[in-house]
Amino acid sequence: MWDRPKAMLWFANFLYALAAVLLLYSVLFVVIHLPIFPLKEVKVEGELTHVTRDQIKLIVDRHLRGNFFTLDLIQARDAFQKLPWVRNVSVRRRWPDKLEVTVEEHRELARWGNIALVNSHGELFHAASDSELPVFFGPGNGVREVAEHYGSFSTLLAPTGMKIMQLALSPRRAWEIGTDSGMVIEVGREQMEARLKKFAGVYAKTLGSLNVKVAYADLRYPNGFAVRKPARSAKPAVPATNKTGAA
């Protein structure tokens, strides 16, 4: 190789180029790590109801390390993401000295038993809430399914004036509704929307017109539904089941 001038010239040029690249990299590394590019502002955006100013300040003080160039955006995003009410976070730099953080909060829809909360996307999350929320029950893989049916069932029951306070999905995929009036509605596994629509359509002219509190309604009949009044404490007999001919 040493007796080949062209090869030696090419090798020398390669070494010069490599040295220049390394020198440039070293200069850039030193420059971006100098304290001349500090982050002066962290701007947090989003409709925040539960995330507090103190929580944000704690994240900034403990987890945002480095200057404009060296801050780890993934680590910063993960730090905000750990807050109980935060569903999603996006973080980006804004030249010359700003960090923009967009936070999406969970919007609570219901409680999942006494384990967790359910958000409006049908996802579980762990946080504390004092709101009066309906309670969902079901198999572990049925959270989104229950949340979706809660919306459609609530709309169908709206004409009755009753609100859903409890919604349960059994392992056999049968539905049961508990309302704010104390009535339990057995919907079953098939034609749930059609059954609820029929029930709500005749409610005002049947059960709604009676001055009697109904404890239970079974909609699993092909041509109507069965109801049961609460048992009287003075009479230990089993309550009778009355069928109505609501079609």
CA distance linking residue 176 with residue 181, whole number of Å: 15
One of 3.10.20.310, 3.20.20.100, 3.40.50.10440, 3.40.50.1860 is the CATH number of 41-105, namely 3.10.20.310
Residues in the chain: 247
Strands (E), the chain: 41-45, 86-94, 98-105, 108-112, 116-119, 124-125, 135-137, 164-169, 175-179, 184-188, 216-221, 224-228, 242-244
Q: pLDDT digit string (tens) for 78-125?
A: 999 999 999 999 999 999 899 999 999 999 999 999 999 999 999 999
The fold of 108-244 is Rossmann fold (3.40.50)
**pLDDT in 10s for each residue of the chain, 247 residues:** 555 666 666 666 666 666 666 555 454 444 444 566 788 899 999 999 999 999 999 999 999 988 888 899 999 999 999 999 999 999 999 998 999 999 999 999 999 999 999 999 999 999 999 999 999 999 999 999 999 999 999 999 999 999 999 999 999 999 999 999 999 999 999 999 999 999 999 998 888 887 788 899 999 998 889 998 776 644 444 443 444 444 3
- Nearest-5° Cα angle at 229, 224 to 231: 145
Where along the chain do its domains lie?
Answer: 41-105, 108-244
Asked if 167 and 153 count as a contact pair (C-beta separation under 8 A), the reply is yes
pTM for the complete prediction? 0.77
CA distance linking residue 175 with residue 220, whole number of Å: 11
Q: Is 144 helix (H, G, I), strand (E, B) or coil?
A: helix
Phi, psi of 87 (to 5 degrees): -95, -40
CA distance linking residue 138 with residue 217, whole number of Å: 20
> What pLDDT does residue 211 have?
77
Q: pLDDT digit string (tens) for 36-49?
A: 678 889 999 999 99
Same fold, 41-105 and 108-244: no
> What pLDDT does residue 4 have?
63
Amino acid at 84: P
> What pLDDT does residue 18 have?
65
Phi, psi of 243 (to 5 degrees): -100, 135
